[in-house]
C-alpha cells in the first residue's frame, strides 16, 4: 500500500510538472498583457515532440543518445524522494536531501557531457556556463539544506517536514534566510530570468538552451520535461519545507485530498510570486551571476549562523 502510494505520488509529480510550467507561462502572459496560451500547451508541445523524428548529428556518440534518458530518470528518482502530498513514503525513507542533491548533480553531469559530445561551439559554451553556475549554486543549496537539517536534527525530508508541521507556527530567522537562499538557488538552477532566459536563443546569455540546442524529437521532449520536473521539485521543496501546512500525515482519503488541494494552492501562489519577480527584474549579465550566487551562499550561511546564534545559543 505504501509503495503504491509512493509510485502514484511520483507519477502525479511527473505528470503535473508541465501543468506548473503552463500555469507560470499563462500568468506571465496575463501579467504582460499578452494573449495567454492554454494551460495544457506544454502537454501538447511534449506530445508533438514525442511524435517527431529524431535528427542526430553525424558524430553523435552513444552518450548523446542516452543522456536524455539518464537526465529524465535522475529527475524522476529525485521527484520520488520529495514528499508532494503525503509524508512517510517509503521512497523518502530510503533517500535523504543529500541524495536529492546528488541526483541533480548526476543529471547535470550527463547533460553537460552531452552538450560537449557533439562538438559544436554552443554546446561546449553552454556546458561550461552550466557547470560554472552549478559549482556556485550547489554549496549554497547544501548550506540551506544543512540549516533545515540542524533545525530538525535529520537530513530526511519526510521527517524534517513532519517536524516543522508538529512545531506549529515558529518564527525562525534561520528558515527565513534558508528560504531566501534556496529561492535564489532555485532561480539560478532552473534557468529563470535574472540568470537565464529559457524563452530566447541568444548566444550572449543562454546557459541551459545552449546545451540542448542539438536535441530534437523524443530526446528534446525528455530534456524539456526533465527541466519542468526540476522546476516543480524546487517549487515543492520550498512550498513543503517552509510552508508545510496541509500535507497529509497518513493515507486516509480525506487527508490526501486536503494535501492535494493544499499543495496545488501553494504551488499556484509560488508560480504567481515567480512571475511577479520575473516581470519586475531585468536579466543580469552573465558575469554578475557569481555575485548573485555568492549572495545566495551568504544567505544560506547566515541561516546556519542564526540557527546557532539566535535559536540554540
Partner 1 sequence: MNLAQLSLYDQAVVVSASLVLLTSFIMLAQARIVPLIYAFAWQGALLALVTALVAYVSGHPHLYVSALLTLGLKALLIPWMLHRLAVRLKIHHEIEAITNPSLMLLAGAALVIFSYYVSLPIVHLSTLVTRNTIGVSVAIVLLGMLLMVSRSKAVAQVVGFMSIENGLFFAAVVATYGMPMVVELGIAFDVLVAAVIFGVFFFQMRESIDSLDVDRLNRLSETAEPTEGGR
The answer to whether 147 touches 300, Cβ cutoff 8 Å, is yes
Of 33, 59, 153, 312, which one interacts with partner 1 (CB under 8 A)? 312
Of 4, 35, 169, 254, which one interacts with partner 1 (CB under 8 A)? 169
Q: How far is the CB of 160 from partner 1 (least distance, A)?
A: 15
Q: How far is the CB of 302 from partner 1 (least distance, A)?
A: 7
Which cell goes with 130? 552550466
Q: Is 253 in the site for partner 1 (CB under 8 A)?
A: no
In this complex, which beta carbon is closest to partner 1, that of residue 13 or of residue 292?
A: 292
Q: Is 282 in the site for partner 1 (CB under 8 A)?
A: no
Q: Is 281 in the site for partner 1 (CB under 8 A)?
A: no
Spatial separation of the C-alpha atoms in residues 192 and 165, rounded to whole Å:
30
In this complex, which beta carbon is closest to partner 1, that of residue 95 or of residue 180?
A: 180
Spatial separation of the C-alpha atoms in residues 229 and 223, rounded to whole Å:
10
Residues in the interface with partner 1 (CB under 8 A) total 25
Of 167, 202, 252, 269, which one interacts with partner 1 (CB under 8 A)? 167
Q: Is 176 in the site for partner 1 (CB under 8 A)?
A: yes
In this complex, which beta carbon is closest to partner 1, that of residue 129 or of residue 230?
A: 129
Range in contact with partner 1 (rule: CB under 8 A) among 2-10, 26-34, 127-135, 167-175:
167-175
Of 171, 204, 254, 282, which one interacts with partner 1 (CB under 8 A)? 171
In this complex, which beta carbon is closest to partner 1, that of residue 127 or of residue 307?
A: 307
Residues that bind partner 1 (CB under 8 A): 167-173, 176-177, 290-291, 294-295, 298-299, 301-302, 305-306, 308-313
Amino acid at each position: 500500500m505504501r509503495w503504491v502510494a509512493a509510485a502514484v505520488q511520483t507519477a502525479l509529480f511527473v505528470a503535473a510538472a508541465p501543468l506548473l510550467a503552463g500555469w507560470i507561462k499563462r500568468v506571465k502572459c496575463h501579467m504582460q498583457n499578452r494573449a495567454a496560451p492554454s494551460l495544457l500547451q506544454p502537454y501538447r508541445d511534449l506530445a508533438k515532440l514525442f511524435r517527431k523524428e529524431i535528427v542526430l548529428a553525424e558524430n553523435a556518440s552513444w552518450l548523446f543518445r542516452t543522456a536524455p534518458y539518464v537526465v529524465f530518470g535522475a529527475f524522476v528518482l529525485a521527484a520520488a524522494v520529495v514528499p508532494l502530498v503525503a509524508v512517510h513514503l517509503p521512497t523518502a525513507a530510503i533517500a535523504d536531501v543529500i541524495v536529492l542533491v546528488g541526483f541533480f548533480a548526476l543529471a547535470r553531469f550527463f547533460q553537460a557531457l552531452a552538450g560537449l559530445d557533439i562538438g559544436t561551439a554552443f554546446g561546449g559554451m553552454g556546458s561550461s556556463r552550466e557547470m560554472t553556475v552549478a559549482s556556485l549554486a550547489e554549496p549554497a543549496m547544501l548550506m540551506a539544506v544543512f540549516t533545515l537539517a540542524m533545525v530538525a536534527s535529520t537530513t530526511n525530508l519526510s521527517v524534517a517536514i513532519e517536524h516543522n508541521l508538529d512545531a506549529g507556527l515558529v518564527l525562525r530567522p534561520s528558515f527565513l534566510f534558508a528560504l531566501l537562499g534556496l529561492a535564489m538557488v532555485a532561480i539560478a538552477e532552473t534557468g529563470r530570468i535574472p540568470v537565464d532566459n529559457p524563452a530566447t536563443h541568444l548566444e550572449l546569455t543562454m546557459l541551459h538552451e545552449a546545451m540542448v540546442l542539438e536535441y530534437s524529437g523524443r530526446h528534446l521532449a525528455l530534456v524539456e520535461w526533465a527541466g519542468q520536473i526540476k522546476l516543480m521539485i524546487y517549487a515543492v521543496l520550498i512550498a513543503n519545507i517552509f510552508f508545510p501546512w496541509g500535507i497529509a500525515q497518513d493515507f486516509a482519503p480525506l487527508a490526501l485530498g486536503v494535501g492535494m488541494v493544499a499543495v496545488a494552492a501553494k504551488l499556484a501562489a509560488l508560480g504567481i510570486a515567480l512571475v511577479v519577480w520575473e516581470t519586475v527584474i531585468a536579466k543580469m549579465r552573465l558575469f554578475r551571476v557569481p555575485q548573485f550566487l555568492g549572495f545566495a551562499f551568504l544567505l544560506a550561511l547566515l541561516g546556519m549562523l542564526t540557527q546557532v546564534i539566535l535559536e540554540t545559543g
